[in-house]
Amino acid sequence: MKGAEFERRVQKLARSRKVACEFVGDQGKGSHGRLYYGDEFTTLKDRKKEIGRDLLAKMCRDLKIDPHHL
């Protein structure tokens, strides 16, 4: 899964759960940005590159969501 797809899926999940979700691109170095999901946030690396399985699991833990819901 690429970073942009992860962002889209989290936003779709947020809409279905009526939770605020926002990507802020200027809160990171280079191509990194911060993805907010309710009160939680995670750093999203380059949205054009693949996200590894372990990084995906860590990002879901940061946002307190189950990776299987994506």
CB-based burial of residue 63 (10 Å sphere; 0-12 exposed, 13-18 middle, 19+ buried)?
Answer: buried
Residue 54: predicted pLDDT: 95
Using CA atoms of 38, 67, 8, 43 in order, give the dihedral in degrees to the nearest 10.
Answer: 60
The CATH code for residues 3-69 is 3.30.920
Residue 28: predicted pLDDT: 67
State how far the Cα of 27 lies from the Cα of 16, in Å rounded to an integer: 26
Q: Give pLDDT < 50 ranges for the chain.
A: none
Residue 26: predicted pLDDT: 81
Residue 45: predicted pLDDT: 87
Domain ranges across the chain: 3-69
Residue 46: predicted pLDDT: 85
